[in-house]
């Protein structure tokens, strides 16, 4: 048993070192945090125009959290607006922006670190239900290890500027609560995951096919109430902008970034690499309508296939 544990740890170490070398070779430059700056611009636009009047490519939870973060940090939204949208380049204005950017990057690192620790804990609890304590600890420790990378370009970790870990956290938390027989909390957690990014919805076929009627309906009602509390206020305030977020996301090809304007010609992207701050007031205060029925069908078919397979295996 001891030799087996040493072999497992050694294998994990070799794979981790290989990953570091590969990432260093492919991406020698560390992540620059471009999305952090982009989110500051978008949150500033939301503060100026109102959240319901600004299009985002994601459901409302993270944009609300990010705008709330800037409020907590005491960011002067008027000065930031003048920097981004009016070309204010005075020393004082630039200093305000740099201070907000620095504080936001620190908050982002703390956010990612806390999420990683929480996810490791959930992974341990999930694995502990089906494996020994040592194996569960090994899995949780490996998860943390593989998120400590030389460059955060591919894997999500402390140096990355994505928020996918938040949706993954809610997805795994909902899974754990489901296995513990807590439909209300499980539905709420999965609902919050869907409100962060849409992929936690993939757990629904499993719960739909695997649960008895009472558990299933309690779970679904909790999920719908959670989603409705966030989405409906946006929908009633500005249905066009709100619906375009979901229609755009549903029709979005897998390779397409937020800032790619032509989904039918991937070789033409990016155009530009990121929308400039000056472009964003015009670009993000109108609904995005980008894809046609063929794109919707191309997206729907693999999702329906995946859901069918999961449902079949869950029976």
| pLDDT given at position 276 | 64
Note whether 218 and 183 are within 8 A (CB): yes
Q: Which of 148, 221, 198, 143 is nearest to 135 (CA)?
A: 143
Whether 259 and 274 have beta carbons less than 8 Å apart is answered as yes
Residues 187-225: tens digit of each pLDDT? 999 999 999 988 888 888 778 777 777 888 899 999 999
* Per-residue model confidence (pLDDT) at position 19: 75
Measured in whole angstroms, the distance separating CA 98 from the mean position of its chain's CA atoms is 25
The DSSP letter of residue 123 is: H
3-class SS at 80?
A: helix
Question: What is the rounded distance in angstroms from the CA atom of residue 32 to the CA atom of residue 57?
Answer: 21
Tell me: the pLDDT tens digits for 61-70? Answer: 999 999 999 9
In the chain, where the domains are located: 32-253+277-314
pLDDT higher than 70, residue 152: no
Which pair of tokens denotes residue 179?
Answer: 């296995």
Give residue 165's Cα distance to chain centre. 6
Residue 21 CB neighbour total at 10 angstroms: 11
Answer yes or no: are the C-beta atoms of 82 and 52 closer than 8 Å.
no
Mean pLDDT to the nearest integer, 123-149: 85
The answer for residues whose C-beta is within 8 angstroms of residue 185's C-beta and 6 or more apart is 177, 222
Average pLDDT, the chain: 78
Provide the token pair at 85. 């949208």
DSSP symbols for 265-283? -GGG--SSSS--TTTHHHH
Model pLDDT for residues 23-57, shown as the tens digit of each residue? 677 666 655 567 788 889 889 999 998 888 888 88
The separation between CA 252 and the C-alpha centre of its own chain, rounded to angstroms, equals: 16
127 close to 140: Cβ distance less than 8 angstroms: yes
């Amino acid at each position: 048993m001891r030799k087996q544990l040493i072999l497992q740890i050694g294998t994990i170490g070799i794979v981790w070192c290989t990953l570091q070398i590969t990432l260093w070779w492919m991406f020698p430059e560390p992540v620059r945090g471009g999305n952090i700056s982009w989110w500051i611009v978008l949150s500033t636009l939301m503060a100026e125009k109102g959240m319901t009047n600004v299009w985002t490519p994601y459901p409302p939870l993270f944009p609300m959290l990010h705008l709330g973060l800037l409020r907590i940090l005491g960011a002067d939204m008027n000065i930031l607006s003048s920097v981004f949208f009016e070309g204010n380049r005075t020393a004082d204005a630039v200093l305000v922006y740099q201070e907000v950017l620095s504080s936001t990057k620190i908050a982002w690192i703390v956010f990612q670190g806390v999420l990683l620790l929480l996810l490791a804990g959930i992974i341990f609890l999930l694995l502990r239900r089906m494996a020994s304590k040592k194996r569960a600890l090994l899995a949780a420790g490996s998860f943390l290890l593989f998120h400590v990378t030389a460059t955060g370009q591919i894997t999500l970790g402390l140096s990355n500027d994505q928020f996918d870990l938040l949706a993954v956290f809610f997805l795994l938390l909902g899974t754990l609560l489901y296995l513990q027989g807590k439909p209300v909390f499980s539905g709420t957690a999965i609902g919050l995951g869907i409100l962060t990014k849409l992929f936690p919805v993939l757990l629904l076929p499993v719960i739909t096919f695997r649960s008895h009627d009472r558990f299933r309906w309690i779970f679904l009602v909790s999920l719908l109430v959670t989603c409705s509390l966030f989405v409906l206020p946006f929908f009633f305030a500005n249905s066009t902008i709100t619906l375009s977020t979901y229609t755009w996301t549903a029709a979005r090809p897998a390779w397409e970034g937020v800032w790619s304007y032509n989904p039918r010609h991937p070789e033409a992207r990016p155009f530009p690499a990121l929308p400039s701050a000056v472009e964003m007031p015009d670009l993000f205060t109108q609904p995005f309508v980008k894809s046609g029925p063929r794109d919707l069908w191309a997206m729907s078919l693999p999702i329906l296939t995946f859901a069918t397979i999961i449902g079949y295996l869950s029976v």
